[in-house]
Structure 1
Amino acid sequence: MTTKEFTITRTFDAPREAVWRAWTDPALAAQWLHPHDVVTPPESVRIDPRVGGRYEYLMIAPDGSEYPTGGEYLEVREPERLRFSWADPGDSVDDAMLITIDLREAPDARCEMTFHIAGIDDDRATHDGIHQGWTEAFEELDDALEAARR
């Protein structure tokens, strides 16, 4: 039986606090919270990073398809951990996938991020493009962090 979860670990050339802000500041999140060739309009991003707080954003594909996304924060420990549900904005926590973000300081003022998603197996994530979508989003995050450093 396939485990319904997968993990992506990535190191960013930015301090942990900058990566935390990228996850919790709506203006920054709009810059990267989408795969390549997809946009997240800044006005669509709402983030209330506290336990019980909610977030939502809209991704728009090149063909005009819209993908509303949202969830509820279940654990918030600044600047080291976020845990939240991930689904359509109106879905309950019970019906959603769960995402855990762990941020660790790494040498040379860098940040190691461990992204873990539960509720979807790796086979389906590959088939549905979820794994690739998050991988591309983290490449966008790398670019956004680089732009913020300049």
Structure 2
Amino acid sequence: MDTTKQFTITREFDAPREAVWRAWTDPAIAAQWWHPHEVVTKEGSTRIDLREGGSYAYTMVIPDGTEYPTGGEYLEVREPERLRFTWADPGDEQREAPVITIDLAELADDRCEMTFHLLGIDDDRPSDHGVFDGWNEAFEELDDVLVRA
């Protein structure tokens, strides 16, 4: 894997670390935010086998109806502070899957800092709706889910 291709996003959430952990690991909650704005997660497509060597999968559906299956394998599971997993289209065997690491830190006043690191894809912020923007929008969706909870 090309280790020069990577980026990090750090966000704070007005929710306890355990709630942010659940949002990453409970399929019913993850289905509500594992997508950018204007995209939905296909009903019933989100599954999570939360263990090292376990897998997860979901399907995003864009407004024109095109479906994008996504999934990967859990490489590290340390509740409630760290998840590390591969992230790719399960049908794309042409390239090595990028690796995502999520670190969750407790902050004062029941807040949580999340550090999201993606290894294997460049920071593509200059483009319109690239991977960086897509994850940022997903984290805005996550923020809304946490506020509603």
TM-score (norm 2): 0.92
1:75 aligns with 2:76: yes
The answer for the alignment partner of 2:57 in structure 1 is 56
Indicate the residue corresponding to 1:105 in structure 2.
Answer: 106
Q: Give the deviation of 1:3 after TM superposition.
A: 2.6
**C-alpha displacement of 1:65:** 1.2
AA aligned to 2:67 is E
Moved over 3 A (4+): 125-128
Distance 1:126 1:86, change over 3 A: farther
Whichever residue aligns with residue 108 of structure 1, its letter is D
How much has 1:41 moved relative to structure 2? 2.4
CA distance in 2, matches of 1:31, 1:53: 21
- Aligned length, in residue pairs: 145
Task: Report the CA distance shift for 1:91/1:54 in structure 2 as closer, same or farther (over 3 A).
Answer: farther
Tell me the distance in 2 between the aligned counterparts of 1:84 and 1:147: 27
User: Structure 2 stretches of 5 or more lacking a match?
Assistant: none
SS at match of 2:44: helix
Report whether the alignment pairs 1:34 with 2:35: yes
Listed as ranges, the gaps of 5+ residues in structure 1 are none
Alignment-derived partner of residue 22 in structure 2: 21
Distance 1:83 1:36 in 2: 24
Percent identity of equivalent pairs: 72
CA–CA distance in structure 2, aligned partners of residues 57 and 9 of structure 1: 24
Q: Distance in 2 between matches of 1:18 and 1:107?
A: 15
Amino acid at match of 1:76: V
CA contact (8 A) 1:32 1:144 kept: yes
**Equivalent residue for 1:5?**
6
Report which of the two has the higher share of helix.
1
For 1:138, the equivalent position in structure 2 comes to 139
- Tell me, yes or no, if the aligned pair for 1:72 and 1:84 is still in contact at 8 Å: yes
Does the CA-based 8 Å contact 1:33-1:40 persist in structure 2?
yes
**1:47 aligned partner:** 48
Give, as a single letter, the amino acid of the residue that structure 2 aligns with 1:102: D
- Does the C-alpha gap of structure 1 residues 37 and 15 become closer, same or farther in structure 2, counting only changes over 3 Å? same
- Give the CA deviation at 1:126: 4.8
- TM (norm. structure 1) is 0.91
Q: State the Cα RMSD in Å.
A: 1.6
Give the partner amino acid of 1:89: P
